[in-house]
Each structure stands twice: as structure tokens, then as C-alpha cells.
């Protein structure tokens, strides 16, 4: 198993309310040259959590951090004008907390970060590093 010391939170950079599936993201990532979806988990609008790339495989979600991280992505991140916005539904917020808490139990040494901590992007369109800093 890989050593995991980071959990990196992303968004799909799609408009609020637009449904997207793991299959959709997988197709998009393959079109970009990835061998499969780059994220390990995706949280849908309804709060359901779906597996993406197997956790034992290095992700393709944050340059320079993939080897030692898990990528978690929620569907959304843009408002109707296509500007970055925290579009998480109530269900997504609950599910992200539960998923991240579970991952922290499995990988207690892993710090939770926003993708924007490592790249000049708005992703995940809220401050995940701060918001989840108190998760056990």
C-alpha cells in the first residue's frame, strides 16, 4: 500500500445543479490522456459517495502530490455565470465530512488540503484546508 499523508479536496468545476458521474469524469480524464479517472472518490449532488480510481493506485489530481495523496472531488464548484463558487449541497457537505473523517481514521497522518493550496486555481471553490482542519 502507498504511504498517504495528504487528502486533497477538489471540485469538478461544473455549474451548480449539473449532474456528473464517475463515468463522465472518467471519459473526460481519458480524453485528456489519463489512463482512468484521476480522483479516488467523487461526491454526487445527492451526497452519495462513489469510488473512482482505486486508492492503492497513484492518483492524477494534483501535480507533485499524487504519489502520496488521495483525491476527493465533489460535483460542482461554479455558479450560473461560470464563476468559482461554493456550490456544495447540504447532502454533499454532510458526505464530505463523513468521507474525510473516515479517511483520516484510516490515514491518521494525512492532512486535508484544498487543491488551491498547491495550484493557481480556485478549486475546490471553498477553503477545505481550514474547514476540515478540526476533523479528528
Asked if 135 and 100 touch (Cβ cutoff 8 Å), the reply is yes
| Catalytic status, residue 93 | no
Pick the catalytic residue from 40, 73, 115, 132. Answer: 115
Q: How far apart are CA 37 and CA 60, in angstroms?
A: 8
54 phi and psi angles, rounded to 5 deg: -60, 140
Pick the catalytic residue from 29, 39, 65, 132. Answer: 39
Pick the catalytic residue from 11, 62, 73, 123. Answer: 123
Pick the catalytic residue from 36, 50, 93, 121. Answer: 121
| Catalytic status, residue 39 | yes
| Catalytic status, residue 10 | yes
* Residues annotated catalytic, as ranges: 10, 39, 115, 121, 123
Amino acid at each position: 500500500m502507498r504511504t498517504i499523508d495528504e487528502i486533497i479536496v477538489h471540485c469538478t468545476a461544473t455549474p451548480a445543479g449539473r449532474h456528473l458521474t464517475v463515468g463522465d469524469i472518467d471519459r473526460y480524464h481519458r480524453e485528456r490522456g489519463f489512463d482512468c479517472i484521476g480522483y479516488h472518490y467523487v461526491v454526487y449532488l445527492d451526497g452519495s459517495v462513489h469510488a473512482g480510481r482505486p486508492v492503492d493506485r497513484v492518483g492524477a489530481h494534483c501535480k507533485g502530490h499524487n504519489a502520496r495523496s488521495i483525491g476527493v472531488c465533489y460535483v460542482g464548484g461554479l455558479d450560473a455565470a461560470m464563476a468559482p463558487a461554493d456550490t456544495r449541497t447540504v447532502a454533499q457537505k454532510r458526505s464530505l465530512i463523513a468521507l474525510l473523517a473516515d479517511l483520516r481514521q484510516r490515514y491518521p497522518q494525512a492532512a486535508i488540503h484544498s487543491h488551491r493550496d498547491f495550484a493557481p486555481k480556485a478549486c475546490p471553490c471553498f477553503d477545505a484546508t481550514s474547514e476540515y482542519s478540526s476533523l479528528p
